[in-house]
Amino acid sequence: MSTKVPNIKLKIDPRNLQIQTFAVEKLLEPLIIQVTTLVNCPQNPSGKKKGRSKRARVLLASVEEATWNLLDKGEKIAKEAVVFKEELHAALADVRKESQALQVAAEAFTSDPCSLARRQAVVPAARALLAAVTRLLVLADMVDVAYLLQHLSVFQRTFESLRNVSSKSDLQKTYQKFQKDLENLDYLAYKRQQ
């Protein structure tokens, strides 16, 4: 396979995405549940301070862990990517920044869980983190699709050369390459479905 980098232009603005796909929704669901559990509260919380909220700290830790796991996988994808490298690194930096902002807002909230103002300050930070994570997932998906398209074009070239062989030995060699490319494409399509 050639190592030629496909010439793909990003036709969307990754900073302004409205994502409504089932796959992205399923990937984000655990993070969304943790964040919404962290910020949901009655409109008039009790004025009595009963100590610091342990549940909010546990939720904050799980959001941070999920974010760091995502960043780790995103960095691996960015290292291996041949397209959208700059966009991936920018999205990773954005996720880091929004994660830190959420951490600061959530720590202020967990120090005083009865404060409605502090609780409400967590909501925009959580939404910004979810938007940054969504942009990162979309870019990673676009890298995956570009890689799959690159393999598809290799397969198509092999198929065309199979149609134009002139001798039996050329036919055998080309058919073996065709079979190998088909198996590779089938494997990549299977991985994508998973």
The token pair that represents 89 in the structure block: 């690194």
pTM above 0.75, yes or no: no
pLDDT on residue 1: 45
Residue 7 placed within a domain: no
Summarised one tens digit per residue, pLDDT across range 30-86 is: 666 666 665 555 555 555 555 544 576 777 788 788 888 888 888 888 888 888 888
pLDDT on residue 41: 54
pLDDT on residue 108: 85
pLDDT on residue 96: 92
Distance CA 84, CA 94 (A): 15
pLDDT on residue 180: 93
- DSSP result, the chain: ---PPP-----S-TTS-----HHHHHHHHHHHHHHHHHH---SS--SS--S--HHHHHHHHHHHHHHHHHHHHHHHHHHH-SSSHHHHHHHHHHHHHHHHHHHHHHHHHHHSTT-HHHHHHHHHHHHHHHHHHHHHHHHHHHHHHHHHHHHHHHHHHHHHHHHT--SHHHHHHHHHHHHHHHHHHHHHHHHHH-
Residue 16 placed within a domain: no
pLDDT on residue 3: 47
pLDDT on residue 97: 94
Question: What residues in the chain have per-residue pLDDT under 50?
Answer: 1-3, 5, 14, 19-20, 52-53
Distance CA 38, CA 147 (A): 38
Q: What residues make up the domain containing 183?
A: 22-40+54-193
pLDDT on residue 93: 93
Residue 13 placed within a domain: no
pLDDT on residue 124: 85
Residue 185 placed within a domain: yes
Residue 111 placed within a domain: yes
CATH classification at residue 104: 1.20.120.230
Domains: count for the chain: 1
Residue 1 placed within a domain: no
